[in-house]
Amino acid sequence: MILMTVHWSSSNSPDLQLTQDIVFQNLLYTIKFEPIANTLNADLVASQKDVIRGETLILDASNSFISNMPVAMQRRSLAYDWECPEIFQSYCDKQAGDQVAIPFDVAKESNVEMETPYDFFVTVIWAKPDGSAQTKTLNATATWFDLAMPEFTIDFDPSQTLITSDANSLFYLEALNFAIDDIYEYEVEWGIEPELENADNRSVLSGGRVMQVIKGSYSKNSDYAVSCTVTHKKLDKLSTTRTVEFKTLAPPVGGSVQVSPLQGYVGDEFTIILQDWTSANLPIEYNVYSTFDTNGNRKGLLINQDGPVPVNEEFSFLAERTTPVIVSVFDASGETLEYTLNPQINLAPDTTQPE
């Protein structure tokens, strides 16, 4: 017995929506099978068209198959005939099968001519059951370059990225596997995120070796990322990007810095007093330095040798020089503000009486 579902249309229902289940008995059905053609589908993929140091060229024809066959039989009757450039042919002949692999060192030992394209061919052969054969030939091109992926680091002095730094920030490209003097063979692109409020304060120097940021260009309490991309001019794939990160904080907010008394002699006691200082990065501390010139431009020796002084504490010392003193105020951000104080300090009068 066969259960069939019959669909038909009528003038009242032309859209085949009417369905009637009917049972047919004692029927004879003839089923005719039409053969589906088998065809050879050949495929060849190269792992890369430009081969550099350390890479291996892999020519892969393994995705070739016979259509309309069970999966287990789609590749069973295929053979591969590789035709390689003369300098590689003996090496290719040793690798029977659907792949050929040529390491860079093998190519170099074979005296491959760098930066010259080489053509490789594979003929995929299908041996049919009737004794005939169907073939298809494909080709791929590869070029070798005696070059390597550029390796480098970015070097910089973190103290130059402080908000209060009196020096410009310099970021250096340090080459690891190429000569820095060969930098002109590369395209060098520097960047910083977020961009500076004044982009003109950033410049690239020495053909790309250095990026400079003018002091005072950074925003407070910001996270910065400096990136450098080096790309060989001969080959775009030879490109490397490196990134360094740093954070700027807010320096202590200035209160007052005073010295008392305002005048005296060498050997007298002077006291440093700080008031009304605040910071988002506590604690706030300070150091006191002598100077070596009358203008206070040359910082001298640390006077508070027992360590930094808390901002809410006074510091007293005996004057040993007639030159100004420098007070350096800093907090946990690492930012430092410096003040030059100019008390009038004279040499003590000579109290000895001549005989």
The tens digit of pLDDT for each residue in 1-59 reads 444 554 545 555 555 554 555 555 555 656 666 777 889 999 999 999 999 999 999 99
Q: What is the CATH number of domain 256-346?
A: 2.60.40.10
Residue ranges covered by each domain of the chain? 40-144, 152-248, 256-346
Separation between Cα atoms, residue 239 and residue 248, nearest integer Å: 30
Architecture of the domain whose range is 152-248: Sandwich (2.60)
Can you spell out the DSSP letters for 195-209? PPSSGGGEEEEGGGT
Q: Which of 232, 188, 230, 231 is nearest to 207 (CA)?
A: 188
What's the Rg (C-alpha) of the chain?
Answer: 41
Task: Give per-residue pLDDT as tens, 121-156.
Answer: 999 999 988 889 999 999 999 999 999 999 999 999
Domain 40-144 fold: Immunoglobulin-like (2.60.40)
Distances (CA, A) of 330 to 257, 277, 327, 335: 13, 11, 10, 6
Contact between 92 and 57 (Cβ < 8 Å): no
Residue 326 scores a pLDDT above 80: yes
Residues 6+ apart with CB under 8 A from 258: 272, 273, 274, 275, 341
Q: pTM for the whole thing?
A: 0.71
